[in-house]
Structure 1
Amino acid sequence: MGHDDPWEPGEAGTPADLRPDIPHPARMYDYYLGGKDNFPADRAAAEKALAANPEFRSTARANRGFLTRAVRCVADLGIDQFLDIGTGIPTAGNTHEIAQAANPGTQVAYVDNDPIVLSHARALMSGTGPGRTAVLQADLREPSAVLAAVEAAGLLDLSRPVGLVLAAVLHFLRDEDKPYQAVDTLMDALPSGSHLVLSHGTADFIPAEVRDRVTGIYDKATAPLVGRTRDEVRTFFDGLDLLDPGITTVPLWRPDTAPAPGADRVSIYGAVGRKP
């Protein structure tokens, strides 16, 4: 697959500081999914999180399934360019793989602020076909800078509908990081017919003591974990038309197979909205 490659390994071309001694949410998530891009500190923290809430691993996998179905849905609706922010460490079933399976000419821009994630970015640049993929460095907490980076890359045409993907990233932003304003700024910049694919962790279904243990583990990592309620997640879609079935736990969003028992209590919500 041809591609632009604005990947930057670090300042002045220096290798990224992977900080292997500090647990990192992207590497912990990689561990939950069975990946190998993690260090002992990540595995130890992830095991503590699993001890507090054994469903973390199945929740991570359910979120990947939601991403696959939601991106495929949006691609089938004719969207041929995607902006995926906070993509995390590459693993099977990345947005470009899903979307380009539906339309090989789809363009995908990944954005992340984390040198640890960016250090793995070249793994996203493999494949065949006319679609292009780029990995850009910017911070979701500065949405105007994200849009500027996307425009400078020249990969996406923001005058045409875009699929904005925010999968399992907004729960790493505290309220003071202004996550709602970030989503509003991004969607305001996209034209009618654009879609928002969003998933977000919640503590709606877990006891308070479990929530507190888990958030305490992430407070010692490089980013917090902020679970939000269903109503709080719904607020991200203000002004958008929700696609059926609306906001659900991720296994219940247009499942390919019959959901397992307890699917309605998985601790992450997902939805897709269309900008009128």
Structure 2
Amino acid sequence: MLDAGLTFLSIADYWIWANFLVYLCVFAVALYINYNFNTIMVGVIYLLPLIPFGLEASNAPRFLMVSFQNLVFGVIEVVIFVITVKPRDATFDRDHIKQLIGHVLPIAAALIGLSFVARMSTVPMSTLELGLITTVFLAGSVLRVLAVYQLGATAFKFDIVFRDDQQLKTTHLYRFIRHPSYTAMMVVILAYALNTHHLLAGILGMLSAAFGFQYRIHYEEEGLKERFGEDYLRYRSRTGMWLPRPGRVRDSS
């Protein structure tokens, strides 16, 4: 039994180091392709929980899940930002700083905080819990990728700016939800929270992330209203912010 425990710990240690190095390589390539502040910021958020120190036999299962979550979703986010971010988007003016504080900071605190709470947890993980966390996490990740893909590289962006050729998106997922990419992120963060197996930490993390997204949504929708006027107001009146509104969906094609 002792030998088996040592073998599992050795394999776990190998995997968290491998995940860390793979992510580091992806991050380095991303910065080479599109070096900008936003890519650096997003990359660091997912890099910190991947730091391969602190693994013990008692916390190995949740530590491995943290490593898996931050590798997979970190790569997704870095790739998204490399494709969509333009150097001129980050102006570092007053509005940009407000978004960093009100939007990014609470979400980053949730992702990093929940990750490190889970890394320290010695609560055993059952097969059922493993399956639930993995299912929720993968569902949120797939939804995030799909939402960004359907919106397109022209329209998706970190800063609230509008391209010259940008149009209002009201089809596919956006026919049912105004902000499916944020809903997807909240599903992913729910998986982070479940991995902590700590009710208070999970609730605080979810509330922090929800505040950050709601802050972003407020200013984003003000910008969309100014940009698209009555078209956006009609779209907003019939479409849910986070979830579909039963009986309110109409053909937007």
Please identify the structure whose Cα radius of gyration is greater.
Answer: 2
Q: TM-score, normalised to structure 1's length?
A: 0.29
| Structure with more strand by fraction | 1
Q: TM-score, normalised to structure 2's length?
A: 0.31
| Structure with more helix by fraction | 2
